[in-house]
Structure 1
């Protein structure tokens, strides 16, 4: 009895159809106010890998997008700064949890963006995840380090406590697309500030993907806003913006930093100047304290009334 002929033609046809399937390319968008808008101007720019091969189109944010991001950050500031430090720590830890679940995606994006071997990209992503955990642990401890009771000559309690500065513009490092970004962003929001981030102009994709993580990590909308495009174009209106309280110039070159610092002086913004940083090194508390104000309260220790009780 002879074997039945196999239907190899149909299988070959199905395989050919699978090979002809078009990939679904990802559309990257800004992250503003907890939403993902396209740039108000409708502009995009090509992002390429280290070999010049096209990776994606990134939105080119406009001045209007920058202003919208400031409005969102200001609106979110009251709730975020008013949350307990313990709650902020839980939320930052949740960001680390979500990043751990999407680790492979970020390893691929960092490797493609910066032209790194996957092992080195993985080391950067792991360090960035750990950095979120590190700052999550500091949220309810920094007040004990920089605050406290002050000795005074008189029957008073004199207590100092840190408070967030407000809306902070962050120029992310240009060459460290993810670890550097996390290292300058996490301490800003850990202490109760809200942030408008200008991602690396050359390597913006990991930052935009981080926005997707933040949107599902219990971080309230507007606490972090991520813009991409020309760093100088976006930074100029933010440095001069009267409702921005501080600016971190980590991703600015010397000429741009000088220009932005002059613009920031108009409303006495606090400025952190660019400096060489090893982002793999354990961070100190400098970036935690960079955008904190100190509130000092005087209170009488009490006096004895006629009944002998204090009041």
Structure 2
């Protein structure tokens, strides 16, 4: 009897609403490494998949935005723990996706896990940075506090398949938003594997939804979708970014434009967290004027 056996190849799927569906159209496309060698077939998402992901993100928004910031931080830290446990897998996937040596890929993966921990620590602190008490000339308090924008469409960076991905997804959900993520078109496998980690962590289904396929094909309906509140164009080229920005104007989406050069290895600031926060201002009478207040 021969000892030869066939390897069990991995079937990558989308991650939508906490589940792993195939593309609604049944289409796939070939993913290759930097030398053109076949790695896997990835789902080729359709417009219907994009709409399903928005429905899932909207359904999850109430519970996720209503959770305490401390609880969100605990959940994000749990995701980091699980990423650390699958470090070797991500090193292999990032090395193949980006044509890096094993040591260079390990540096990228370690930085991505550290980046996730960094944002986990910010969940209950960002309000102190972007909110506060406002000076007023009157017998009342005037307080501003941040609230999440809603459903955010995220175009993941094309070249940085894992560190860049984490750098755009983590700040969106750390602040209570939910996300529909379009993975790197050329290198989607680390993003699709991230869905497996999220599904087995404490992150509620629908908070992050991951689609793979042609970036322009998926992003166009998301930019025009009236139930998407904001869009991060990190993974769009100049021409696509302009097209999506025009489409997003129809319902006054918040738009985070792509930067000319993004150094994903640099220490992040708070910009990506504050980009998708709204400010709620409340005034409250002091002294004997009563206990009623107003918000605007």
Same fold (TM over 0.5): yes
Instruction: Label 1:72 to 1:308 Cα distance change in 2 as closer, same or farther (>3 A).
Output: closer
**Using the alignment, how far apart are the partners of 2:136 and 2:2 within structure 1?**
105
Q: Classify the secondary structure of the residue corresponding to 2:236.
A: coil
Deviations 1:55-96 (A, max 9, x none): 000000000000000000000000000000000000000111
**Using the alignment, how far apart are the partners of 2:208 and 2:281 within structure 1?**
28
Instruction: Label 1:59 to 1:149 Cα distance change in 2 as closer, same or farther (>3 A).
Output: same
Instruction: Label 1:305 to 1:166 Cα distance change in 2 as closer, same or farther (>3 A).
Output: closer
1:46 to partner: Cα distance: 0.3
1:306 to partner: Cα distance: 16
Deviations 1:90-131 (A, max 9, x none): 000011100000000000000011110011100000000000
Instruction: Label 1:272 to 1:308 Cα distance change in 2 as closer, same or farther (>3 A).
Output: closer
**Using the alignment, how far apart are the partners of 2:33 and 2:148 within structure 1?**
38
Q: Classify the secondary structure of the residue corresponding to 1:303.
A: helix
Deviations 1:134-157 (A, max 9, x none): 000000000011111111111111
Q: CA RMSD in A?
A: 4.3
For normalisation by structure 1, the TM-score amounts to 0.91
1:23 to partner: Cα distance: 0.2
Match of 1:259 among 223, 243, 248: 243
1:139–1:190 contact (8 Å) kept in structure 2 = yes
**Using the alignment, how far apart are the partners of 1:246 and 1:266 within structure 2?**
12
Instruction: Label 1:40 to 1:299 Cα distance change in 2 as closer, same or farther (>3 A).
Output: same
2:280–2:295 contact (8 Å) kept in structure 1 = no
Q: Deviation above 3 Å: which 4+ runs of structure 1?
A: 304-311
Instruction: Label 1:153 to 1:202 Cα distance change in 2 as closer, same or farther (>3 A).
Output: same
Instruction: Label 1:304 to 1:213 Cα distance change in 2 as closer, same or farther (>3 A).
Output: closer
1:51 to partner: Cα distance: 1.1
Instruction: Label 1:305 to 1:80 Cα distance change in 2 as closer, same or farther (>3 A).
Output: closer
Deviations 1:30-63 (A, max 9, x none): 0000000000000000000111111000000000
Return the index of the structure with the highest Cα Rg.
1
Instruction: Label 1:150 to 1:56 Cα distance change in 2 as closer, same or farther (>3 A).
Output: same
1:2 to partner: Cα distance: 31
What does residue 24 of structure 1 align with? 8
Instruction: Label 1:255 to 1:300 Cα distance change in 2 as closer, same or farther (>3 A).
Output: same
Aligned residues: 294
2:281–2:295 contact (8 Å) kept in structure 1 = no
2:284–2:291 contact (8 Å) kept in structure 1 = no
Instruction: Label 1:209 to 1:309 Cα distance change in 2 as closer, same or farther (>3 A).
Output: closer
Gaps of 5+ in 2: none
1:60–1:229 contact (8 Å) kept in structure 2 = yes
**Using the alignment, how far apart are the partners of 1:303 and 1:208 within structure 2?**
58
Q: Classify the secondary structure of the residue corresponding to 1:46.
A: strand
**Using the alignment, how far apart are the partners of 2:154 and 2:9 within structure 1?**
29
1:89 equivalent in alignment to 2:73: yes
**Using the alignment, how far apart are the partners of 1:103 and 1:255 within structure 2?**
36
